[in-house]
Amino acid sequence: MTNAAALLRDVFGFDAFRPGQEEIVEAVAHGENVLAIMPTGGGKSLCFQLPALLRPGVTVVISPLIALMRDQVRGLIETGVAAGALTSANTPEENDAVFDALHSGELKLLYLAPERLASGGTQRMLARAGVSLIAVDEAHCVSQWGHDFRPDYLRIGELRRALDVPLAAFTATADQETRDEIVTRLFDGHAPRSFLRGFDRPNIHLAFQPKDSPRNQILSFAAARRGQSGIVYCGTRARTEVLSQALRDEGHPTAFYHGGMEAEPRRAVEERFATEDGLIVCATVAFGMGVDKPDIRWVAHSDLPKSIEAYYQEIGRAGRDGAPAETLTLYGADDIRLRRAQIDEGLAPPERRAADHGRLNALLGLAEAQGCRRVALLAYFGETAQPCGHCDLCDTPPETFDGTEAVRKALSAALRTEERFGTGHLIDILRGKATDKVKQWRHDALPTFGVGKDLSQGQWQAVFRQMMGLDLMRPDAERHGALVMTDRARPILRGEETIHLRRDTLARATDRPAVKQ
């Protein structure tokens, strides 16, 4: 794992870079002058915060928004990064603490309000402080023709010349005039390395399937692409070995790769993958950082990734050469349970866990999307798009139906059993199956017992999966994965809202027993 990837995980708590971040982080960390244009919410701050930790000395961050600076500083300090801000909102004590940290050489990030640049004292202080990078947030504020013009931003170029260090400028405003003005005023007209690639990877076909029989689903996906290089991402180390064997039995050249292997066999797989045509590697997420093969023709997930960022990064390894590439992501109720449990059992503080659930929900929303997947994916990263015509849902738009009644039955089964049970038991109640467990709890006496005989076991599983995808119910780790209702479900239960479900995932559901991980 690279330094940047380790910091991303250990300091910032993210499992994958968002679109564009990795390249920008690398360039900034290497001391290139950079202009990065990213949509709002795309994750700009990481692109200077992470490099700041990789560079010696202190990084000066100039931002026009005092509240935002203070938020970022608070967040950084919470994760153990030495950061401080000098703004007009500081108390004298806060100022002293920042000066002390700066003089002792501890500080890694110093946020500075632009008006501070007007003082000669600030410039002299920075000249002595060992600054190795200037990061400029909202760089369009340097544009005299824009709405957000900040005259003090005009002093940034002077500061860069005085300190003679690299500068990284960030903005969400992409129009050509603004860009030109940024280059003129911040970089003295010397073109910086620019990043303004959109996030869309139009050559990659997107597809999801509910996990009915993962082995067969992966085998048939690979069979249709015989001879092409591909990666199968698996949720466990054991599964990489099992699937690799299953594919080999079908005559594919395969290898497996995971973090439990010694460095040497891992390196050998990387080498084979880079040089051999048509190899399939079954791997955990350990495989990827540093895999730089342009002609990977497909990526499949036998298990649901951790988050929407991880999904984007992993499918993004396909088709780097721009030629058509295909992806398939399998997901099932067990995956959702497993991912939730991993988040809940992790050591992350509560806010971070809540955010992780949110990123998983976003991925589930994508999995059970009712319209174009690319539109949904790009919307998450702040880009708008038209239906792409190059995803499974554009190929075959899903039919939906009013699923309010089924959802209400499922919710009431959970409520009447005090939200203490998981999917399997709730489905037994709904379908009127008097199992030992049902009898033991006297759940056969509930009014909900047997009200859901119209749907099969597999169809009920699909309903529950969609309900989790729509965040109507969540498995509660403290209750061993028992399903609890979320606030979003209340209006449905009260009859104030209806809810649509996808018909196909119900129609496709069979009565095979739930797939074990």
Residues interacting with ligand ADP, by CB under 6 A?
A: 14, 16-18, 21, 38, 40-46, 309
> Rounded to the nearest whole angstrom, what is the least distance from the CB of residue 46 to ligand ADP in the complex?
5
Verify binding: residue 374, Zn ion, rule CB under 5 A: yes
**Of the two residues 15 and 212, which places its CB atom closer to ligand ADP in the complex?**
15
Q: Work out what residue 44 binds among ligand ADP, Zn ion, none; the CB cut-off runs from 5 to 8 Å by kind.
A: ligand ADP
d(CA 149, CA 218): 54
Verify binding: residue 355, Zn ion, rule CB under 5 A: no
Q: Name the nearest CA neighbour of 466 among 407, 415, 419.
A: 407
**Of the two residues 17 and 331, which places its CB atom closer to ligand ADP in the complex?**
17
- Whether the CB-CB separation of 376 and 200 falls below 8 Å is answered with no
> Rounded to the nearest whole angstrom, what is the least distance from the CB of residue 266 to ligand ADP in the complex?
24
427: Cα separation from own chain's centroid: 32
Element spanning 292, H or E: none
d(CA 386, CA 179): 26
Q: Work out what residue 391 binds among Zn ion, ligand ADP, none; the CB cut-off runs from 5 to 8 Å by kind.
A: Zn ion
Burial of 74 (0-12, 13-18, 19+ CB in 10 A): exposed
> Rounded to the nearest whole angstrom, what is the least distance from the CB of residue 130 to ligand ADP in the complex?
25
> Rounded to the nearest whole angstrom, what is the least distance from the CB of residue 326 to Zn ion in the complex?
13
Q: Work out what residue 309 binds among ligand ADP, Zn ion, none; the CB cut-off runs from 5 to 8 Å by kind.
A: ligand ADP
**Of the two residues 309 and 428, which places its CB atom closer to ligand ADP in the complex?**
309
Number of residues binding to Zn ion, judged by CB under 5 A: 5
**Of the two residues 43 and 166, which places its CB atom closer to ligand ADP in the complex?**
43
Burial of 327 (0-12, 13-18, 19+ CB in 10 A): buried
**Of the two residues 62 and 483, which places its CB atom closer to ligand ADP in the complex?**
62
Strand partners, 62: 112, 136
Tokens 């690639």 locate to 197
Q: Work out what residue 41 binds among ligand ADP, Zn ion, none; the CB cut-off runs from 5 to 8 Å by kind.
A: ligand ADP
**Of the two residues 351 and 399, which places its CB atom closer to Zn ion in the complex?**
399
> Rounded to the nearest whole angstrom, what is the least distance from the CB of residue 315 to ligand ADP in the complex?
15
d(CA 400, CA 207): 18
Residue number closest to ligand ADP, CB atom: 43
Sequential DSSP letters for 255-268: EEE-TTS-HHHHHH
Contacts (Cβ under 8 Å, ≥6 apart) of 132: 31, 55, 56, 57, 58, 59, 165, 166
> Rounded to the nearest whole angstrom, what is the least distance from the CB of residue 386 to Zn ion in the complex?
9
> Rounded to the nearest whole angstrom, what is the least distance from the CB of residue 400 to ligand ADP in the complex?
30
Q: Work out what residue 38 binds among ligand ADP, Zn ion, none; the CB cut-off runs from 5 to 8 Å by kind.
A: ligand ADP
* CB-facing half-sphere around the CA of 131: CA atoms within 13 A: 26
**Of the two residues 318 and 406, which places its CB atom closer to Zn ion in the complex?**
318
Q: Name the nearest CA neighbour of 461 among 418, 433, 498, 426.
A: 426
Q: Work out what residue 372 binds among ligand ADP, Zn ion, none; the CB cut-off runs from 5 to 8 Å by kind.
A: Zn ion
- Provide the 8-state DSSP code for 206: B
Polymer length in residues for the chain = 517
Structure tokens at 500: 């649509």
**Of the two residues 46 and 391, which places its CB atom closer to Zn ion in the complex?**
391
Binding mask 64-103 for Zn ion (x = CB under 5 A): ----------------------------------------
Interface residues for Zn ion in 376-415 (CB under 5 A)?
A: 388, 391, 394
- Show the DSSP H helices in 104-175 as ranges: 120-128, 156-163
Q: Work out what residue 469 binds among ligand ADP, Zn ion, none; the CB cut-off runs from 5 to 8 Å by kind.
A: none
- Whether the CB-CB separation of 295 and 323 falls below 8 Å is answered with yes
Element spanning 515, H or E: none
* CA distances (Å), origin 273, targets 231, 254, 282, 293, 347: 10, 9, 11, 8, 35
The window from 26-34, 270-278, 373-381, 405-413 that contacts Zn ion (CB under 5 A) reads: 373-381
**Of the two residues 18 and 185, which places its CB atom closer to ligand ADP in the complex?**
18
**Of the two residues 374 and 465, which places its CB atom closer to Zn ion in the complex?**
374
Helix axes 457-469 and 423-430, enclosed angle (nearest 10): 130
Verify binding: residue 372, Zn ion, rule CB under 5 A: yes
Q: Work out what residue 289 binds among ligand ADP, Zn ion, none; the CB cut-off runs from 5 to 8 Å by kind.
A: none
Footprint of Zn ion on this chain (CB under 5 A)?
A: 372, 374, 388, 391, 394
